[in-house]
Structure 1
């Protein structure tokens, strides 16, 4: 990753990269560690479900607020206080896992951690645009995603290993430390003067972000496609892949191999897109997103293991061919003073609706059968991005490719 190595020589970006990586790892780790709590008998399955539910609720509730505050005040300050909230919530969760405070403290800690996680995401995205100049943002976004994918590839084994010598509450304190890093390490962005006089209310300011998003038809189309793929293709991975791995392959080995292959493919995709600049970058990115249709198709009928794993490797490559140009285009095209709000809308719809897809796919499989549901997931994952290619500006994720320009 020559381009990524170049941008990492910038001290301000290196600090931002470190903080973002720490926050991404901490966000991933909490559900995994709580799952270990069930394995170790510290939590019941019901308590785990409640904890993950309030964490997700906190995440979704804080996302729009984080976008407004990051645009209203300093993005760096927003990162600091949101990271502090997540650290405090993680520390409370660790205390609850020792047996103190009971279920009330556990739920309060997880909810607070979710609030911090949701509030920091749009601020981090906006800080990339403040710290890195336009010519290097694609390399910067590739470096970000490479770090996050890399840590999630090795972190499960590392976390499980640490859990053999530390109680689950001690591992959760490690998550607290990661959030402290995320809050403290990132460097300041550029100075943005705050307009004098009274400001519009919270709802009005968030609505300004919606108005800005509507100015970019390619953004709305791409966000719709991404939301559709996550709600269907990702849900097939989350629910159907474990089922198929157990029933068709006699255990969890294919599940683990496919998920590892997906992450490895994403790493390869980040390396490719760090330097690649296709002319029709928007359509290439949407084609990469459409590749996720391969995942549910690979589960339709028993296939050799290498075919299933290979399908997930290809999906991993495709998703990063979309993610990196997508983030870069949003940072480039959106009005800088509204970037965090538009980014919060992006995360809120795409990843915020993922739990709905997960909740619906299991009943759908029971009602219509696994094969029918997988076919629908594949069709939506393919057709959504293809339709998005027709939107004005979608060819390059830029109004330059709109009709008449």
Structure 2
């Protein structure tokens, strides 16, 4: 196979010492950031449609549920396609699909919720298909010594947009209509499709391709070869399903009922994002010896979020807890992505990454759906206590898995002669 120009560019940039000096990575970074911003912005913009009554709350729920369904359906298929074909090609076509469907979402505002839901499902398909492809493309474009810095740069950009974009969208909504703002996300998807540089050619020869079901099973077998990955994924799924759910449901309730103001809610969410930005900056350069254990300890820090809501503490304690949670989640995310890119067989990386997204983020809505009835049945305190305990216990259990100390497969024992 003829080497692609992207790894050569990466090697040159590595000699210069910074991933930010690599044009191929900068193009990938810009495309990934554009897709993340488009993904985040659509629910917020459609929320603005409630104000001008072009969309009802029920309609909003249907449209967002359709997008989530498209995402979940496309993630495993996108992972298999990205291992079969060029990762760059999968990013291109998934981004173009989302860009083409987004104007239909805009056209349906105030006219047809069914049309909006159908188009939103296609947007979700594009979003889901590009996620594992972006992960695998990063491993192709960036050489291994700089991937942690590269992953940190990507997640930092996502956190910055999350922090600044709400105010920007609110300001734009004063002068720009909601359909026009929706169309702006189509431009972001178009940028995500065309900006990334070329990576390697398809890693699976055409004649060696198996049926989709067999390739998916092969990806599961590859994941099972890495006990640290399965344990870490179980811990991440638990934390998202419990800790994130506490943030999504219990934090607004506690903010209003305990503190009598939504200011604590806004401050805690801002503190979380600011902490995540700090965590991304820290992990871009920090290389702990026991990287896996350090990452799992960071993941466990999310337990401080529900724990801070258990008692009527000073609001500063809640804000501090969310700063720690934000720092910790990036101390986990960046080494986790980097280790997966390093340890998993390259030809199966996208499929394994799709399992990551499918289980961790795919099960998050289940936690959100269950926590409100649980609070109604058992009370806020017991549910928050359970969520905090789960966030602390799951990473601790994952740390016992073989290879968890360094997020790598244990070396086989060598027997003496």
Q: Same fold (TM over 0.5)?
A: yes
TM superposition shift of 1:190: 2.1
Aligned to 1:92: 104
Matches within 5 A, 1:104-115: 104-115=114-125
TM superposition shift of 1:292: 0.6
Aligned to 2:158: 148
- Is residue 118 from structure 1 mapped to residue 128 from structure 2 by the alignment? yes
TM superposition shift of 1:404: 8.1
- Is residue 37 from structure 1 mapped to residue 37 from structure 2 by the alignment? no
What TM-score comes out, normalization by structure 1 length? Answer: 0.97
Aligned to 1:241: 251
Matches within 5 A, 1:4-403: 6-97=18-109, 99-100=110-111, 102-197=112-207, 199-400=209-410
Indicate if the aligned counterparts of 1:393 and 1:402 stay in contact, CA closer than 8 A. no
1:58, 1:113 → 2: CA distance?
A: 7
1:293-338 CA distance string (max 9 Å, x none): 1000100111111111111001000000000000000000000000
1:158-177 CA distance string (max 9 Å, x none): 01111111111111011111
Indicate if the aligned counterparts of 2:402 and 2:410 stay in contact, CA closer than 8 A. no
1:195-238 CA distance string (max 9 Å, x none): 14262111111111000000000000000000000000000000
Indicate if the aligned counterparts of 2:63 and 2:117 stay in contact, CA closer than 8 A. yes
Indicate if the aligned counterparts of 1:83 and 1:120 stay in contact, CA closer than 8 A. yes
1:230, 1:254 → 2: CA distance?
A: 21
1:243, 1:231 → 2: CA distance?
A: 18
1:117 is paired with a residue of what secondary structure? helix
Indicate if the aligned counterparts of 2:84 and 2:202 stay in contact, CA closer than 8 A. no
Indicate if the aligned counterparts of 2:85 and 2:201 stay in contact, CA closer than 8 A. no
1:132-173 CA distance string (max 9 Å, x none): 000000000000000000111000110111111111111101
1:39 is paired with a residue of what secondary structure? coil
Indicate if the aligned counterparts of 1:392 and 1:403 stay in contact, CA closer than 8 A. no
Indicate if the aligned counterparts of 2:276 and 2:328 stay in contact, CA closer than 8 A. yes
Change (3 A) 1:193 1:65: closer
Aligned to 2:10: none
1:276 is paired with a residue of what secondary structure? coil
Aligned-pair RMSD on alpha carbons?
1.6
Change (3 A) 1:7 1:174: same
Size of the alignment, in residue pairs? 401
